[in-house]
Structure 1
Amino acid sequence: MSPQLLVCAPLGLEARALRAALGEKYVRRTGCGPRRSARSAAALTGADFDVLVIAGLAGGIGAEVRSGDVIVADELRGQRGTVRCPSAPSLVAELRRAGFPVHCGPIATTDHIVHGAQRAELAGTGALAVDMESAVLAEAAGSRPLGVVRVVVDTARQPLLRPGTPSRALAALARLHAIGPCLPRWGRTVSPEIRSAASKELY
């Protein structure tokens, strides 16, 4: 039997883009920011699913990252520690087979939108992108496989508060919709060995 996939999308626009690709039953809107994410993670801890994906938009902070690029987290860095994502390589492979520009590396989760000097500071740590939910929502996965996919909207060269942001956001949402069909395909490839290794490591 195929593993049951749950896709968490923080924002309504993100959830709609993913539901259009996957259908209503796979996608749960979880709310913007760490506080709503914590409530959603607590509610989902005992839910009936086998594989968790967190998907949405993000700010790019790595020097090589461009608007529209897809970031797959190999770890999530939040206020409560670091969450490892051992099954990231197989998710990267699935997305690259589909032709998407994918980077794999750390995603930082903060409690506010990051600008200017703080963006550069996070980039200096090796993080590729920043969001306000992923490290918190990841707690819902428990020992189940976890995938985190974010599409970049803004970067240091193209900051959020600029006239071109709405068009970049629409393009990023279109890409998020396009990667939707890759997620259940990846979920079906997650082996029992990866599943047992997917427990979170906090330090």
Structure 2
Amino acid sequence: MHEAQEVGSSGDIDVAEPEEATGSAGRGVDPGSMASELRGSASAAGLHYDLEEAREMAKLSTAASASREVRLQKVCDKLRVRLEELKEENIQLEELLSQADARASGGAGEAESLRAELKQLRAAHSRTESALKAKLKAKGEELDKVQIEAEKQRAEAESLKQKLDHLQQTTEELLRERQTSEGRLVTALREQLHEVEQRLDEERAAHQASR
């Protein structure tokens, strides 16, 4: 039977190489049991790949937070599917236990051995399921943090946009006021110039008349 999947301190799930099924032929284990073991190995390999993918995505920069959020959500969905597969395998193990009990009439020792092996398998699956739940919880928390960060960035972008709009509006108002002030100043200067020209004309006319 397969060794249990062990969770290391770094969070990786290592899948051990399968050992030789000692005495399984003598006990009459059917091909369905071997198929269940192969499916368990394939599921463990897929789980290892999904967790590696989640670990790599956790290293991505905040600049890609939106894409990172979507990918983390997909990985969490995959991990949930793996968890359901492990539960189904536990149900299959229970069925194998029932079949072993049915065959136990030919030898109580063989049934006891099968029970011990199935107990070990159930314990291994329980440890793997617990590790998977812990990983799923951690990725869920990380996804929440990414969503919070993305929301914060969206709020900052909206604030900057509002400030830019206000600055543009203020600039336009200042330009309009400047144009109005310049227009008034030009008009006043023209009026003053006209008055000066009139006085000069009057003085010139008076001077010529006094000759």
Range into which the TM-score falls when normalised by the shorter chain: under 0.3
Considering fraction of residues, name the structure with more helix. Answer: 2
Answer with 1 or 2: which has the greater Rg: 2
Which gives a bigger RCO, structure 1 or 2 (Cα 8 Å, sep 6+)? Answer: 1
TM-score (norm 2): 0.24
